[in-house]
Amino acid sequence: MRFDIISIFPEMFESPFAASIIRRAVDSGAVAIHTHNLRDWTEDRHHITDDYPYGGGPGMVMKVEPLARAVEALREKNPGAPVALLTPQGTPFNQTMARALAANPGLILVCGRYEGVDERVRAHYCDLEISIGDYVLTGGELPAMVVVDALTRLVPGVLGTPESADDESHSTGLLEYPHYTRPAEFKGLRVPDILLSGDHAKIEDWRRAQAIIRTARRRPDLISRAGLTDAERLMAEKIIRGEEP
């Protein structure tokens, strides 16, 4: 999968993409990440990428011309890749969106700044808008890193164990069950006996139940979309009401 990122601060991406899973994914050729300086598509000698808003008001607005040129150029290099604008006004990013985007051969990410981008960019040069939360950051660079990280993990061959991405929080509609490792006891705190039993069927049942319990307590808003059985739904509803499962 190929990522193309348009930013006026491309240097921000150097360190985050130089370590861990993303670095290994790049080194293996599973993904390619290209960062681009928006100023390269300006035509004035000062490389201006923003201007005052028509109608007045605070702040600056990113200009349409360099962004349009950048998107047009990168669409040729990354054919079939949707263009996503990172903005607080966008569709909330979640695991379902990540899986849908990861099915594409690539993705072009536009990092907004200041008061935002000229509306003509949003309306005519972007295929979708993405928000990583109901808050405002200084720019789209950090959200772009989040999107690249989430999608990279879904590219075949990136994770050592392919099943890892299928059993995580939000992948099944539920939060993930609790994890334990050695030692079996630490300062009187024991690992649940079921996990030491070797009975894999019972372990899977326990993990499923724990995932439902954790989701009902922490994110009850997810329960209605989690695809539970009738018995599981009744258990979740009891927990949401504050009763013991």
Phi, psi dihedral angles at 4 (to 5 degrees): -120, 125
Indicate whether 168 belongs to any domain. no
Residue 230 shares a structural domain with residue 137:
no
CATH number of residue 226's parent domain? 1.10.1270.20
Counting every residue, how long is the chain? 245
Phi-psi bin for 210: left (phi > 0), alpha (psi -120 to 50), beta? alpha
- Is residue 82 within 8 Å of residue 107, measured between CB atoms? yes
Enumerate the β-bridge partners of residue 211.
none
Indicate whether 90 belongs to any domain. yes
Looking at 133, 152, 171, the residue that finishes a domain is: 152
List the domain range (segments joined by +) for residue 210.
Answer: 185-240
Residue 12 shares a structural domain with residue 97:
yes
CATH number of residue 130's parent domain? 3.40.1280.10
Rounded Cα–Cα distance for residues 183 and 69 (Å): 57
- Is residue 17 within 8 Å of residue 23, measured between CB atoms? yes
Indicate whether 161 belongs to any domain. no
Residue 119 shares a structural domain with residue 210:
no
Domain count, the chain: 2
Element (H, E) at 186: strand 185-186
Q: Is the pLDDT of residue 245 over 90?
A: no
Distances (CA, A) of 92 to 79, 131, 167, 178, 189: 25, 5, 22, 26, 38
Q: What is the pTM of this model?
A: 0.90
Looking at 152, 173, 200, the residue that finishes a domain is: 152
Residue 146 shares a structural domain with residue 219:
no
Digit-coded pLDDT (tens) for 157-202 = 999 776 666 556 666 889 999 999 999 999 999 999 999 999 999 9
Indicate whether 162 belongs to any domain. no
Residue 50 shares a structural domain with residue 122:
yes
Indicate whether 167 belongs to any domain. no
Rounded Cα–Cα distance for residues 79 and 55 (Å): 37
- Percent of the chain at pLDDT above 90? 93
pLDDT, residue 163, reads: 60
Indicate whether 114 belongs to any domain. yes
Digit-coded pLDDT (tens) for 3-44 = 999 999 999 999 999 999 999 999 999 999 999 999 999 999
The residue with tokens 């935002």 is 116
Q: Which SS3 state, helix, strand or coil, does residue 61 take?
A: strand
Residue of 146, 163, 55, 171 lying closest to 92 (CA atoms): 146
